[in-house]
Amino acid sequence: MTENKKLLVLDIDGTLVNSKKEITPATLEHLLKIQELGHIVALASGRPYPGMKAYANQLKLNEYGGYVLSFNGGKVINCKTGETVFQKAIPNSYLKTIYDYAVAHGIGMVTYKEDVVLTGTEIDEYMEYEARLNSMVIHRVDKFLDEVDFDMTKCLLTAPPDKAAIYEEELANLLAPDLNVFRSEPYFIEITIKGVDKAESINKLVGILGMKQEDTICCGDGFNDLTMVQYGGVGVAMDNAQQIVKDNADYITASCDEDGIVQVIKEFIL
């Protein structure tokens, strides 16, 4: 079995789950089946760990020894042991620069502390969505710079989609060369330390597992999935993926509402 053991890496939103944010019965059945056969499943998402836990539990990653790559790979957790096998954070020295930019442009900024979403800007609909999506509470604090006295695994800025592309570019220039700036959704601008993206952390995990790059199947739909789709031994774009992800994929599967992951499992694993 171990001779052709695969590491199946799945984004969550728009990939593992359908539009209702649910894992369909067919997808669940196939993911449990391949784990029983000895293949490894990992979830890679921009979400913080609390927002991934319910899905990880549903897939029994703790039982089968799967992994969770939260914050776009900023933190990698072995679900069986609960240990963090890899972590890389933004030095606290960048906090003021990012916060000042957010305030000057009237956009939202959040970071994460345990199971709380922290903000020092006005709470907007995008932040509320982020907190709700991850089953976390949102706290607005007056002294944000004092409150965030730690290195952030991820920082998230929120802006209307028509403006977000401009802010993304400006922030990328402002924070170069040490930080990554990219959009995971048209209205979410994510910031992580350089060397943290899904591909980088999957590569670390492959090393930890003693596997090879060609043993990986990486499936995604969003801008932040691009690097892992390019990295995968088989890079898969969902039919509902952003066009740039499709352009860089080896294989385009059905949409997240049509059990696209089942198609991938049948085609490349079973």
pTM of the model: 0.85
**Whether 80 and 208 share a structural domain:** yes
Residues 50 and 103 in one domain: no
Q: What is the pLDDT of residue 1?
A: 44
Q: 172, 193, 214 — which closes off a domain?
A: 193
- pLDDT for position 195: 80
Residues 99 and 177 in one domain: yes
Residue 143 CA to residue 42 CA, distance in Å, equals 37
**15/79 same-domain check:** yes
Contact 43, 12 (CB under 8 A): yes
For residues 67 and 111, membership in a common domain is answered with: no
In a shared domain, residues 146 and 78: no
Q: What is the CATH number of the domain that holds 76?
A: 3.40.50.1000
Pair 70, 200 in one domain: yes
Domain count, the chain: 2
Q: Are residues 133 and 158 in the same domain?
A: yes
Give the model's pLDDT for residue 3: 63
pLDDT in tens, the chain (270 residues): 456 899 999 999 999 999 999 999 999 999 999 999 999 999 999 899 999 999 999 999 999 999 999 999 999 999 999 999 999 999 999 999 999 999 999 999 999 998 899 999 999 999 999 999 899 999 999 999 999 999 999 999 999 999 999 999 999 999 999 999 999 889 999 999 998 889 999 999 999 999 999 999 999 999 889 999 999 999 999 999 999 999 999 999 999 999 999 999 999 999
CATH of the domain at 169: 3.30.1240.10
Instruction: Determine the structural domain holding residue 96 and report its residue range.
Output: 92-193
**Residues 210 and 79 reside in one and the same domain:** yes
pLDDT of residue 114: 87
Residues 82 and 99 in one domain: no
Identify the pLDDT of residue 56.
98
- Same domain for 203 and 189? no
